[in-house]
Every structure is written in C-alpha cells, then in structure tokens.
Amino acid sequence: MIEDKSGVMRAIIEPMRERWTPPAGANPDALIGDMVADLKGFEESVLRQVFEVVRRNHHYNNWPRAGEFLTAARELTKDDLPPPSDADADAAYTRKRREWAQEQLLQYWSQAWNEGWVSLARDWLSGPGYGESFSKWPIHNWKALIRRRAWATGEIKGDVGKAV
C-alpha cells in the first residue's frame, strides 16, 4: 500500500498530464489533490493498471475525473478495497438524513390527513372568499383547530373529529 502521493503521481498524474489538458476553469492542484486523496491507498502496480483501463475508455481531450480512476481501481481490487473516504461517509450520512426526512414528511402528512387537517385546510382555501385570512374564520373552526392541536400534543384524549 502506498501512503504518500509519489506513487499516485508516477502511476496516474504524470501520464495523465502527458496525454490530456486540465479542464477549462478548473484548479489543477485541487483536482490532483482529490485524485491523490482518493487513490493513495492502492498499490502502485494497481494504479498503473487503472491508468491503462481509464486511458482506453476516456474519450475527451481533458483530464478524466477522479471518480473514473477510483471506479476502475475498485473494479480491479474488489477484495482489497481501502477504507472508505470521508466523502463516502458524508454521502451515506446525507442519503440517510434525506431518507429520514422523507419518512418524517410522509408520517406527518398521513397524520395530518388522518386527523382532518388536510380537509380543514382545503375547506379554508376553497371556501367563500378564497384566501380569506384566519381572522375571518368562524369561531367554531378556531375551537376545532385548538382542540386538534391539543389532541396531537397529547393534552387531551379521545375523538377530536366532532365539532366543539
């Protein structure tokens, strides 16, 4: 395993610089840093093979993305993967948080539907004087709204579907 950037420089970066140009508007040092960070755990012999795989499949005049090299390296060493990077952990965490948020949203939406909040909002929006302010709501709507909130927070028990 190589732990410094010299192996990545010899096997990937130098041949890449000989064949292709950096992408327009990109920071070459940052791109090289990304490649070194992603590939530093692989053996230099594997990196040489990785470069040949990417070279054969790359169809553009600018540098391949770091992900192309990383994908090729993972394919060549399916059993000897280096530990996942911080970027992989961040992506997994972000994906889990997004899934959690979607589940919460679905749960709240179904709760609002089951408790009648959706029909209450629909009635308000489609009632006479579309878009009228809450201050013009009849008092029984306010009482129902307050009762539903109390039921949702656990302050009261029982059926809240009936008008107060």
CATH class of 5-83: mainly alpha
Domain with CATH 1.10.8 in the chain: 5-83
Alpha-carbon distance 47 to 53, whole Å?
Answer: 10
Residue 67: φ, ψ to 5°: -65, -30
Higher pLDDT, 80 or 9: 9
Whether this prediction's pTM lies above 0.85 is answered by: no
CB atoms within 10 A of CB 79: 4
Q: For residue range 120-156, what is the model confidence (pLDDT) as tens digits? A: 766 655 555 544 555 555 555 666 667 777 776 777 6
